[in-house]
Amino acid sequence: MADIEGIKILNLSSKKRAKNLSKKYDIPLINSKSAKTFISMGDKSILHFENNKLENSFIAGKFNTRIKQHQSETILKKAVGWQSSVQKHILDATGGLGHDSFILALLGQKITLLEKNTGLCILIEEALNNLPNLPYFNNARDNISIINKDSRAFLTSAEHFDVIYIDPMFNSDKKLKRSKQMEFLANYLAEYDDPSIDFYQTKFKRMVIKKEFRSSSGIKDDPAISFKGASIKYDVYL
Ligand SMILES: C[S@@+](CC[C@H](N)C(=O)[O-])C[C@H]1O[C@@H](n2cnc3c(N)ncnc32)[C@H](O)[C@@H]1O
């Protein structure tokens, strides 16, 4: 798996944030021209990898439509057992760009997001930081804690969470048309990892696995229930 060599500061206004992120994630500030995989921080924060670029905004592009319609995420709500009056604590074991976590946070859930790739953790931090100052965004941001670790570090505490949420997503048997972001992630991360079998062997209350329709699972047992959407499904184990 590739990961960033450091953070490049492009303008003065991003210097303080870059320094904080460099400290939090123990990643150097760099100015070398030879760096191939890095995050540049200027007006936008961009992950660079082999001349390809990845941005992560929660308020632009396709994801913004999901944000605006987050109350209509019916199958996701059913999968995590959402109740309007209860705040569940969800462990997102495959954080990625933080999109699913952010939808769940907007739906009032408390999220511990685990992502083992440092570059992606910083892109999530930046997407959260660039949200407009609005109460529902501020509440959602406060609901998310980001931890840069292999989620297997949480196997022994799985039972303390109401839901373990896992989206490995690169395991399709059929060639699906991928978004540019997903294409970037597949090349950048290169090695496929799926911690679901490890979590399945622990004590957990509820585990939700997001899958493309025909993807195979390492878990041989049938889920207690599946919720199907247009191209993906959520398998729920209890
Ligand atoms: C398909 S992406 C998840 C996308 C995410 N659901 C979203 O909405 O943005 C899968 C992510 O899981 C991460 N991942 C895979 N195995 C992991 C593990 N054992 N611990 C932490 N992160 C892991 C990968 O680095 C990758 O970023």
SS3 annotation, the chain: CCCCCCEEECCHHHHHHHHHHHHHCCCCECCCCCCCCEEEECCCEEEEECCEEECCCCCCHHHHHHHHCHHHCHHHHHHHCCCCCCCCEEEECCCCCCHHHHHHHHCCCEEEEECCCHHHHHHHHHHHHCCCCCHHHHHHHHCEEEECCCHHHHHHHHHHCCEEEECCCCCCCCCCCCCHHHHHHHHHHCCCCCCHHHHHCCCCCCEEEEEECCCCCCCCCCCCEEEECCCEEEEEEC
pTM of the predicted protein model: 0.94
What was the pLDDT predicted at 175?
A: 54
CATH code, domain carrying 69 = 3.40.50.150
Any atom of ligand 1 within 6 Å of the Cβ of 97: yes
- pLDDT single digits (tens) 119-142: 999 999 999 999 999 999 999 999
Q: Are residues 91 and 152 in the same domain?
A: yes
Q: For the chain, what percent of residues have pLDDT higher than 90?
A: 76
Q: Are residues 120 and 13 in the same domain?
A: no
In a domain, 2, yes or no: no
In a domain, 85, yes or no: yes
The count of structural domains within the chain is 2
Q: Are residues 204 and 125 in the same domain?
A: yes
The residue segments making up the domain with residue 18 are 7-54
- pLDDT single digits (tens) 26-64: 999 998 778 889 999 999 999 999 989 999 999 988 889
Q: Are residues 211 and 123 in the same domain?
A: yes
The residue to mutate among 56, 57, 67, 94, having the most atoms of ligand 1 within 8 angstroms of its beta carbon, is 94
Q: Are residues 74 and 92 in the same domain?
A: yes
Q: Are residues 231 and 115 in the same domain?
A: yes
